[in-house]
Structure 1
Amino acid sequence: MSKPDVVLLSGGNPQIPLGYGEAVVESYLAAMPGWKERVGRQVDAVISRTVPDVLKAVKWNTPMYGMTEHHYFLGFHCFTKYVKVSFNRGAELDPLPPGTSKQKLVRYLDIYEDAALDEAQFADWVMQASLLPGEKL
């Protein structure tokens, strides 16, 4: 199956116009290059199973997930060697996601091609994050 005709930005991140809902996130997932599409679909599936009422959007070429309109608890982005999941209030999760940020509350999870996602831990972080106030973005 061929990829949609989408510009890939630095690191292979798809350039997807601002939009809201399942369809725009699906456009992003379909445009993710190579192994990153598998990771993106896995991340999206865990979020959707864990928080069935999650609201989805693409802003700044990044899929975003929240519980109330324009307030998001998580997003992810393609980089050359990994997919970076950003927990907007990750410093409030237990245990802490491993990646630190210059922003006080943000924590990251970097998922590499050959690394398996611990779905149970990720789902736990997603559930915890979904219960926190989302960041207005």
Structure 2
Amino acid sequence: MADKAPAKPVLLSGGNPQISKGEGDGPVQAYIAAMPGWKSAVWARFDALIEEVVPGVHKAVKWNSPLYGAPDALPGHWFLSIHCYDKYIKIAFFDGKRLDPVPPVASKSGQASYFHIHEDDAVDEAAFADWVRQAVALPGEKL
């Protein structure tokens, strides 16, 4: 009997991968691998950058979105999440209005601010790393 190829992950509305919830790096890496097209390689780079800036970063996938928390944060407190859309990756800094400079996409409610990465964007990795350094020092959002 021939081995079956692994099933492709289901992509939800907007192209977001459907990944089972779970704690740790494994579910986040499964999400990254399932991101369609250019998004997988781009977010793999930013995931590695977060690990460089925040050694021991806590990771999980909940609600089909990777979450990132400070290593010493209270359980369930997160400083950043991502969500995959057809044309961009949406990065949510949960306390983004407290970052300097504030990420460019405002939230309609709460303290969150967003940063979007499109396929041909030249992202300033140093500026992103600075946002991560600032965000991880804040209490984080309880989810």
Q: Calculate the TM-score normalised by the size of structure 1.
A: 0.95
- In 2, are the aligned partners of 1:4 and 1:30 still within 8 Å (CA)? no
For residue 81 of structure 2, what is the aligned residue in structure 1? 75
What aligned pairs does 1:20-59 form with structure 2 within 5 A after superposition? 20-59=23-62
**One-letter amino acid of the counterpart of residue 112, structure 1:** H
In the alignment, which residue of structure 2 is the partner of 1:16?
19
Query: What is the percent sequence identity of the aligned residues?
Result: 55
SS of match in other structure, 2:91: strand
Answering whether residue 126 of structure 2 is matched by residue 120 of structure 1, we say yes
* 2-structure distance, mates of 1:108, 1:73: 12
Aligned-CA RMSD value = 1.3
CA distance in 2, matches of 1:75, 1:19: 14
Residue ranges of structure 1 left out of the alignment (5+ in a row)? none
1:39 CA drift (Å): 1.8
SS for the counterpart of 1:120 is helix
1:105 corresponds to which of 107, 111, 123: 111
- Partner residue in 2 for 1:65: 68
- Return the alpha-carbon distance in structure 1 between the equivalents of residues 48 and 29 of structure 2: 11
Using structure 2 for the length normalisation, give the TM-score: 0.91
